[in-house]
A and B are shown apart, each in its own frame.
Chain A
Amino acid sequence: MRFEARVVVRLKPGLLDPQGKAVEGALPAMGWRNVSNVRVGKQIEFELEAPDERAAAAQVNEMASRLLSNPVIEVFSVELRAPSGAATGGA
């Protein structure tokens, strides 16, 4: 089966996010003064072939924890979409 996967990587809540601070600093200059707590993460999308959803989820979780995120400073979430188009939950 072919799956579409989306991995969202975020900096851990307690850690200072320099990129988020920079964005937050730029917004008031453009007139948006009501925005706070900006955090910048990243989203990685790909497709993969796997026998079933369980196998796909296991593989994507391992990929996310070993390469796509750094567990020292980041957390991630996984979203899988089967060919039927139905989102199949996260981790």
Chain B
Amino acid sequence: MNGRPRVGVITFPGSLDDRDAVRAVRSMGGVGVPLWHGDRELGGVDAIILPGGFSYGDYLRTGAIARFAPIMEEVRRFADRGGPVLGICNGFQILCEAGMLPGALIRNRQLRFVCRFIHVRVETSLSPITTGLVPGEVLSVPVKHGEGQFVTTEEELARVEAEGLVVLRYCSPDGTLDEACNVNGSRDAIAGVRNATGNVVGLMPHPEHAVDPDVGPTGGQPMLASFLSYALARV
């Protein structure tokens, strides 16, 4: 064990942020391993990222077709054994469609695509991207999506809140919850959730676009650092 976790990044037809994710993993000290949607094995990686983009053109529903890609059976097995899985944007949508995360993501409330830096508040340390963070911390990261409104039934929303599955919420720069800062109208301003066992997490913002101080805020650094150390702790 050399202290450099191997993180698989899956490319689906229509993925856009796969290369940025590999690059961000590398810049944070991990090894980025490109994986292909048609693969039937994961190459012995320690963690998996489902990147952003528009897999299969987002036809039918976002993530609806990608969830049946051959590699997704392996991703599910990997997650069932406790392996860390991170879905970013379209990757989050795929994990929700696959039933690996609660809820669903629909058209933004304001019906417009949003592309800008926003703030999210950490709600729990019990997720692969927040192990090194404290609840209440505020991070600046970008969003870029047209269908990021997190919704679910009242019953499931109550369960998600009661079990502490909310990982991140959209907030003001000082961490206050304010409907004006809820960029897409998500229920309870939810920006990211985890599964009940705590090893699968999804979020709409893009930590992989926020690791380089030369090009903007670096709110993605602590999330990816947490993800890499979480992966390493399991090796």
Number of interface residues of B (CB under 8 A): 23
Q: Which of B61, B96, B97, B109 contacts A18 (CB 8 A)?
A: B109
Q: Are A72 and B96 in contact (CB under 8 A)?
A: yes
Q: Which residues of chain B from 139 to 169 have a CB within 8 Å of any chain A CB?
A: 149, 151-154, 156
How far is B111's CA from A67's CA once the two chains are assembled, in angstroms? 24
B180 within 8 Å of A (CB atoms): no
Q: Is the CB of B111 within 8 A of A18?
A: yes
Q: Does A83 contact B (CB under 8 A)?
A: no
B64 at the interface (CB under 8 A from A): yes
Complex CA–CA separation, A22 to B106 (angstroms): 14
Least CB distance, B56 to chain A, in whole angstroms: 12
Report B17 CB to chain A, min CB distance, Å: 23
Find out whether the CB atom of B107 lies under 8 angstroms from the CB atom of A67. Answer: no
- In chain A, positions 7-46 with a C-beta closer than 8 Å to chain B are 11-12, 14-16, 18-19, 21-22
Most buried by A among B68, B97, B106, B110: B106
Q: Count residues of A near B (Cβ-Cβ below 8 Å).
A: 14
Asked whether A18 lies within 8 Å of B153 as measured between CB atoms, the reply is no
Which residue on A lies nearest to B147, using beta carbons? A18
- Select the residue from A11, A14, A18, A19 with max chain B CB neighbours within 10 A: A18
Q: State how many angstroms separate the Cβ of A3 from the closest Cβ of chain B.
A: 21
